[in-house]
Amino acid sequence: MTATLLNFEASCKLMLFGEYLVLEGAKSLAFPLKFGQSLQIEPSREIRWTSESPDGIWFTADFDSTLNIINTNNEEVANILAKLLKLIKSLKPDLNINNVFHAQADFNLAWGLGSSSTLISLLSQWSKIDPFLLLSESFGGSGYDIACATAKRPIIFQKSANKNSWKEISLNQNVTDHFLFIYLGQKQNSRSEIQRFKKSKVNSAHINEMNNLVDQSINCENIEEFESLLNQSEELLSPIIGKQKLKEHIFADYEYSIKSLGAWGGDFFLATHRNIDEAKKYFTNRGLTTMFTYKEMVK
């Protein structure tokens, strides 16, 4: 009799509005992506983990029955994984953790699209443990990425002390047809950026302004209005986090809007356009070749 294979899937994410301020309770607008990570689990007498990306296998680890590391090619990742599996075992003592786990990402891990958040979601789906609990005990963060992992459409996410809330929404195609997501090539460490943000001074006026921008974005029907919201968001956040706006820093001569995403300045950013070929040519001429339209990128 063959062992039953379990398979789970989780989507990557990008945040358009609400970056950083979401940690203080502001609304955020985020996208679940067509990129993601899957996890295949096969019962075994041992505990073995393998993680693979389009570039091949990048992480392996073997654990004993008490989740001590026997061998691995990445001690740091193995320790994080062992901590997560020990937490799961403590919360679900009857769950069988003697398995061969194989994680498969279909995106370049350097892109910063959510290898950690998809891992948390996958482990949550398998163990049936609250993913936000697993997140708080491991990587930390607002949790919007956890909500995106199983969402089917863009979401409005809001964090509160009692309960995280989110709902799926749709943006007007007259807006999203003018989106181009471009990889800047400087992966940010979200955890260290969050720690840096915690030293910033955020007040209720900042939160209210971001909430208003998010509310307006849902009902926006043309790209010109949406660009105004993008620009207002950049104006709001730049002095709070003490970082220069990406457009004035690198793309001052670009005709339309440039919007930082996520941890500002490292991974993907959004550029609006009126002609996709002209936009792609502009960024290609600046050495940026990894780019996706909204339909190519977002669920």
The arithmetic mean of pLDDT across residues 254-268, rounded, is 85
pLDDT in tens, 56-87: 999 999 999 999 999 999 999 999 999 999 99
Give Cβ neighbours of residue 76 (< 8 Å, ≥ 6 apart): none
Mean pLDDT of the chain: 92
The arithmetic mean of pLDDT across residues 196-220, rounded, is 86
Task: Measure Cα distances from 143 to 152, 166, 255 in Å.
Answer: 16, 10, 34
Distance CA 213, CA 200 (A): 21
Q: What is the CATH number of the domain that holds 100?
A: 3.30.230.10
Considering the domain architecture, whether residues 16 and 136 belong to the same structural domain is answered as yes
**pLDDT of 266 strictly over 70:** no
Residues comprising the chain, all counted: 299
**pLDDT of 1 strictly over 60:** no
The arithmetic mean of pLDDT across residues 269-284, rounded, is 98
Q: What is the CATH number of the domain that holds 234?
A: 3.30.70.890
Residue with the bigger pLDDT between 142 and 273: it is 273
Instruction: Give the pLDDT score at 138.
Output: 85
How many domains, in total, are found in the chain?
2
Instruction: Give the pLDDT score at 26.
Output: 95
The whole domain housing 240 covers 173-297
Q: How many CB atoms lie within 10 A of CB 151?
A: 20
State the pLDDT confidence band at 203, using cuts at 50, 70 and 90: confident
Instruction: Give the pLDDT score at 215.
Output: 97
Considering the domain architecture, whether residues 207 and 271 belong to the same structural domain is answered as yes
Show which of 141, 161, 181 is a domain's final residue: 161
pLDDT in tens, 158-201: 998 778 999 999 999 999 999 999 999 865 555 555 555 555 67
**pLDDT of 113 strictly over 60:** yes
Show which of 106, 138, 161 is a domain's final residue: 161
pLDDT in tens, 236-258: 999 998 888 999 989 999 999 99
Instruction: Give the pLDDT score at 249.
Output: 86
Considering the domain architecture, whether residues 119 and 264 belong to the same structural domain is answered as no
pTM over 0.75: yes
The arithmetic mean of pLDDT across residues 223-241, rounded, is 95
Show which of 126, 161, 196 is a domain's final residue: 161
Q: Nearest CA to 179 among 28, 14, 37?
A: 14
CA 1 to chain centre: 39
